[in-house]
Structure 1
Amino acid sequence: MTRWLIRTAALALLVLLAVALWQHFAPRPAPPPPVPLTGEIDLIVLDKSDRRMTVFRDGKALRSYNVALGFAPDGSKERQGDGKTPEGEFTIDRRNPQSAFHLSLGIDYSRAQDRAHAAALGVSPGGDIFFHGQPNLLPDIIRRKGDWTEGCIALTNAEIEELWRVTPIGTRVIITP
């Protein structure tokens, strides 16, 4: 009888220890997704050093996103193929629902000053800089890691869908180092 009591107490202690450890180390449930943005935004600010983009309406920050940049992100874009994301003030000037990267919103790079700078270097400034999603060849749940674009700004597909809904042509874009 004593042996049975010791075994039962030891088993109960093991169960309590397992439950306590599980409660302490178990993965936490994912937070609920944020409420979808509605209305239109009027400003996008991208901080390249933080890989963080924030969208605004009437001076109020509405949402921030982690982004991927060009494969050589330090410095501003100078030439086609340099893998840099441009810096400065731009405007959303086009929308592409048939993008090879889910959806895309284009900025007005290259500007006159970008073309003049590239001409002084004897190179092409490049162009076609977009906010876009992940490559269409990847499943929606996959997100490429690191900086991998040719100079564009990449988000998840769900994020670019949200940005697409709230970003009109003419939205100001500020990209800082």
Structure 2
Amino acid sequence: MKILLLILITLLSASVHAEIDKVTVDKSKRRLYIIENDQVIHEFRIALGKRPIGHKVYEGDQRTPEGSYKLEHVMEDSQFYRSIHISYPNQDDIANAVRLKVNPGGNIKIHGQKNGEVKPSQFVQSFDWTDGCIALSNEDMDQLLALVTPGTPIEILP
């Protein structure tokens, strides 16, 4: 019976992952949306980089990128509670950085709270605090990672 239950859970999890079309981030609304069949099936409150207006141009500008990317590998061991890497910079970002003679930066992720954070997540998520990443509460990060897989497209809107 336990084996049958495990198989059923695995099949249900696989079907959830297979149906997600994309993740959309609306920076102006501080929201991350999970999209399935052109419908929002889940919404999360987010925090952004400390300078949230405008597209990320160079390393250290504390801006969150805007554009089309992919979710890449999941990281379980970092300075933040769980994270998933975003494929920034893309070809356009690199070309722009070359033109401006700057380093476009990288290491942009969706992640949970900083390890060891003692303030309530509701407080921490009430302001923009990252260096350019997209931050969720730890509970929301667990939900996000249960819904998406590496390769899922992510669109980050101004």
Q: TM-score range by the shorter chain?
A: 0.7 to 0.9
* 2:156 partner letter: I
Q: Structure 1 pair 140/148, CA: closer, same or farther in 2 (3 Å)?
A: closer
Equivalent position of 2:98 in the other structure: 119
Aligned partner of 1:100: which letter?
Q
In 2, are the aligned partners of 1:140 and 1:157 still within 8 Å (CA)? Answer: no
Which has more strand, going by share of residues? 2
Number of equivalences = 140
Give the one of 71, 76, 93 matched to 1:97: 76
Question: Structure 2: 5+ residue runs without aligned partners?
Answer: 1-12
Q: Which residue does the alignment assign to 1:151?
A: 132
Aligned partners of 1:147, 1:165: CA distance in 2, in Å?
25
Give 3-state SS (helix, strand or coil) of 2:121's partner: coil
Distance in 2 between the 1:76 and 1:141 partners?
29
Q: Is 2:37 the counterpart of 1:62?
A: no
Q: Which runs of 4+ in 1 moved over 2 A?
A: 139-143
Name the SS of the counterpart of 2:146 in structure 1.
Answer: helix
Which residue is equivalent to 1:77?
Answer: 56
- Rg larger in 1 or in 2? 1
Partners in 2 of 1:119 and 1:71 — Cα distance?
Answer: 24
CA distance in 2, matches of 1:48, 1:141: 22
Which of the numbers 51, 55, 59 marks the counterpart of 2:30? Answer: 51
Q: Between the two structures, name the one with larger relative contact order (CA 8 Å, sep ≥ 6).
A: 2
Higher mean displacement: 137-146 or 100-109 = 137-146
Partner of 2:153: 172
Separation in 2, partners of 1:134, 1:105:
13
TM-score by length of 2: 0.84
Q: Percent identity?
A: 36
Distance 1:140 1:159, change over 3 A: farther
Superposed displacement of residue 141, structure 1: 4.0
TM-score by length of 1: 0.75
How much has 1:140 moved relative to structure 2?
A: 8.0
**SS at 1:163 equivalent:** helix
